[in-house]
């Protein structure tokens, strides 16, 4: 988490309170937030932490969403899902590696929507 100076709006950094400053002598050895631009400082007197859980971004299919698979070709190929075993799938090819490597085929079962590639 970033904290900003209430005086000049620059980012605050954490540093140790140095000895010799009469205004901070009782807090020598503790940490403080200090601004590198103006004289603002705030002594940290208690433990400070924050836990932030990141949300995983949901991305759409490479072709542009659920309806985009309807516009691609169909082929006869066995679905790898053991519960489905359908023999039709939507498919397209895409060059995802270097040019001297073969293209990668992406498949999506027409029945169970399982996706795989070869």
| Residue 94 and residue 61 in contact, taking contact as beta carbons nearer than 8 Å | no
Q: Is 58 annotated as a binding residue?
A: no
User: Is 79 a known ligand-binding residue?
Assistant: yes
User: According to the annotation, is 5 in a ligand binding site?
Assistant: yes
Find the catalytic residue in 82, 100, 115, 118.
100
Q: Which of 60, 82, 101, 118 is catalytic?
A: 101
Helices (H) and strands (E) in the chain, counts: 0, 7
- Residue 100 is among the residues annotated as catalytic for this protein: yes
Nearest to 75 by CA among 89, 61, 65: 89
Among this protein's residues, is 101 annotated catalytic?
yes
Please state the separation of Cα 18 from the chain's center in Å: 38
Please state the residue numbers annotated as binding site for Zn(2+). Answer: 5, 8, 35, 38, 79, 84, 109, 112
Task: Report, as residue numbers or ranges, the catalytic residues.
Answer: 100-101
């Amino acid at each position: 988490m970033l904290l900003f100076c209430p005086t000049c709006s620059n980012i605050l950094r954490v540093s140790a309170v140095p000895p010799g400053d009469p205004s901070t002598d009782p807090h020598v050895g503790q940490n403080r937030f200090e601004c590198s631009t103006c004289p603002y400082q705030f002594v940290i007197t208690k433990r400070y932490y924050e836990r932030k859980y990141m949300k995983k971004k949901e991305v759409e299919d490479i072709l542009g969403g659920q309806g985009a698979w309807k516009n691609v070709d169909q082929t006869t190929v066995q679905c790898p899902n053991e519960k489905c075993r359908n023999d039709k799938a939507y498919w397209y090819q895409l060059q995802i590696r270097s040019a001297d490597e073969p293209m990668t085929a992406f498949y999506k079962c027409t029945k169970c929507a399982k996706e795989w590639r070869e």
